Structure 1
Amino acid sequence: MRRAALAKPIPAFEASQSFKETEMTVALITGASSGIGSIYASRLAARGHDLVLVARAADRLNALAEELRSTHGVNIEVITADLTDAAQLGTVEQRLRADPPVDILVNNAGAGVAGGLANSDPAALENLLRLNTLAPTLLAAAAVDGMVKRGGGSIVNIGSVLGLLPEYAPGIYAATKSYMLTLSQSLHTEVGGQGIYVQAVLPAATRTEFYARMGGDISAMPAAMEADDLVDAALSGFDQKELVTIPPIPDVAAWEAFEQARMTMAGGFTNTKPAERYRA
């Protein structure tokens, strides 16, 4: 590992200085038929963005599209796609490479699997990995290619605070959300200087259909944020050009201390000899 790579922490809540301000016109949102995705669609349409809405539920997508066209007078495309299916995922990738160009990609689609890793269904695990990690990676790759050529664009990756607290979640869900954070950080380092803004949004418990789809009950959670509040906070972080947005954290100093501890630990990664405690 190169020492230079460890010399400077990646800014998180600090505003990005490399983002090139451009007029954003088209936003593509995955998982747009309900919950966080549908609210993103409503908020971005209200800001005057044309939309490409992606989800499996065609009836919900079409109803949302018709409502937003009527209310905000924006152009809306609908792509019905299961992102765990390679061919259907490929259709969305093709749209990201086509015209009119997509200026904002919101990688929101995701799911969870109840239970732990032991005795889990391998097919369910594979589907979760495809939806939560493979799909957003390939979509980001499809989007960023054109964004770099145009010199502007934004990629928003929806993660979870459980990516920082895997002890609180059995199974692989937390690991997939940790991936979304590190993907965002590394992508920012790669293309942030070329006019591309990358944001990782880490919600805590949020009142959506996510829990019901796993057989759970959000009302059993001791505290849950309303999805509208979550998206409004995420968009505020977007406007401030934060790299990492964690809406429920009351004091940004908590994240800054976390990042500083990470960089302090990283200072030892270039040692060529094992630490003394490992030398018997």
Structure 2
Amino acid sequence: MNDSTKANNKGTAVVTGASAGLGKVYADRLAQRGFDLVLVARSQDKLESLAAGLRSDYGVAVRTLVADLSAETDLEKVAADISADASITLLVNNAGASTLGSVFDLSDAKRDEMNKVNVTALVRLSHAIVPQFKARDRGTLINIGSVLGFFNLPISTVYSGTKGYVASFTHGLQQEVAETKVVVQLVLPAATATDIWEKSGVPITVLDPASVMTPEDCVDAALAGLDLGEAVTLPAVENAELYAAYQAAAAALFGASQNGKPASRYGIKH
């Protein structure tokens, strides 16, 4: 553990996908809060430039891990690194991949990339650090999902599927750590002005500008939600009761499914 970590007692925050978009803003805001940082992304030049700026602006310790989280060897390298670092108190699973389009038109490579980055990497890194948090009874995991995790578009079949997994997985983790002081937050952004849109094949210019949030506002709202103790934060949703009602409906539907007899509408007689 370095001297600045001891001094600020915040510990170290890991941010994946840190070189741009939400990850870059998370890195800035967490450094501003006094966390030392481990920044993970594919671009070494962007990571080093960001790290230098954060060290200069906030006086925190920053190290970088250049990794492609869709590659198993790189993912395991990052998992091993963070599981061995006792100073880590917060992980933001922000890295994501998105290619929008009909599932029939997606290449195997694009489909696999979304599954590997959005699901496999998020689960692997959560598994690498949450047991450490539980052992210390301290730590915060932030998983970045999407509103498309509970709403599908004809062009979002695979992406929505991966983000639906993120939501279910994170809800499960929340139940598993419920009796501890470990915090697990699910963040569900809507349209946000990041480069993921250009990479997805759908330019952000096709969206109504009034529906697009800046990455700064999105992260600031997500961190405000974390401070408020929200298990699920929807930065753009004014009425928080809407998601509560959605979850209540899901629970009621599950309860109604606990019946050993076919529903009467199917006309099955015994």
- TM-score, scaled to structure 1: 0.89
Please state if 1:138 is matched with 2:124: yes
Question: 2:266 aligns to what?
Answer: 278
Deviation at 1:36, TM superposition (A): 0.2
Please state if 1:217 is matched with 2:203: yes
**Structure 1 residues 273 and 24, CA gap change in structure 2 (3 angstroms):** farther
Question: 1:4 aligns to what?
Answer: none
Please show how residues 1-280 of structure 1 align to structure 2 within 5 Å. 24-167=10-153, 169-222=155-208, 223-280=211-268
Q: How many angstroms apart in 2 are the aligned matches of 1:180 and 1:170?
A: 15
Deviation at 1:207, TM superposition (A): 0.4
Q: Contact (CA 8 Å) 2:11, 2:89: kept in 1 or not?
A: yes
Q: How many angstroms apart in 1 are the aligned matches of 2:262 and 2:153?
A: 28
RMSD (Å), alpha carbons:
1.3
User: Where do 5+ consecutive residues of structure 1 fail to align?
Assistant: 1-22
What is the total number of aligned residue pairs between the two structures?
Answer: 258
Q: Contact (CA 8 Å) 2:170, 2:184: kept in 1 or not?
A: yes
Deviation at 1:198, TM superposition (A): 0.5
Q: Contact (CA 8 Å) 2:100, 2:155: kept in 1 or not?
A: no
Q: How many angstroms apart in 2 are the aligned matches of 1:168 and 1:159?
A: 19
Could you say what secondary structure the match of 1:53 adopts?
strand
Question: 1:8 aligns to what?
Answer: none
Q: What is the letter of the counterpart of residue 67 of structure 2?
A: A
Q: Contact (CA 8 Å) 1:181, 1:200: kept in 2 or not?
A: yes
Q: How many angstroms apart in 1 are the aligned matches of 2:82 and 2:261?
A: 46
1:4-56 Cα deviation digits (max 9, x unpaired): xxxxxxxxxxxxxxxxxxx5311000000000000000000000000000000
Question: 2:4 aligns to what?
Answer: none
Q: What is the letter of the counterpart of residue 225 of structure 2?
A: G
Q: How many angstroms apart in 2 are the aligned matches of 1:253 and 1:194?
A: 26
Question: 1:6 aligns to what?
Answer: none
Could you say what secondary structure the match of 2:201 adopts?
coil
Higher relative contact order (CA 8 A, sep 6+): 1
Runs of 4+ in structure 1 deviating by more than 2 angstroms, as ranges, are: 167-171
| Identity percentage of aligned residues | 39
Q: Which deviates the most, 102-111 or 256-265?
A: 256-265
Q: Contact (CA 8 Å) 1:24, 1:104: kept in 2 or not?
A: no
Deviation at 1:119, TM superposition (A): 3.5
Q: How many angstroms apart in 2 are the aligned matches of 1:265 and 1:148?
A: 32
1:153-180 Cα deviation digits (max 9, x unpaired): 1110000001111136433001111111
Q: What is the letter of the counterpart of residue 274 of structure 1?
A: P
Deviation at 1:118, TM superposition (A): 1.1
Q: How many angstroms apart in 1 are the aligned matches of 2:84 and 2:148?
A: 35
